[in-house]
Amino acid sequence: MSMIFYPDGWELAVDNPGFGELIVIADEEISPRLINGEWRAELYGAAIGTFLAQVTNRALGLDDSEHSGTPLPRFLTAEVARDVLPALQRAVLLATAGTDRFEKVFPDAGEPPTRPICARCNIGSPYTSEVAVSEWCAQYGHRAFGASGSRWEHAQEMYQLDLDRWNRAEARRREDEALAAALEPAAIDLAAARRARRGN
Q: What is the mean pLDDT of residues 59-71?
A: 78
Question: Phi and psi dihedrals of 40, rounded to 5?
Answer: -135, 140
pLDDT tens by residue, 144-195: 998 876 688 999 999 999 999 999 999 998 988 888 777 766 666 667 767 7
Cβ–Cβ < 8 Å for 145, 101: yes
**41: DSSP letter:** E
Give counts: helices (H), strands (E), the chain: 6, 4
**For position 189, what pLDDT does the model report?**
67
45: left (phi over 0), alpha (psi -120 to 50) or beta: left
pLDDT tens by residue, 81-133: 999 999 999 999 999 999 999 999 998 888 999 999 998 888 888 887 776 78
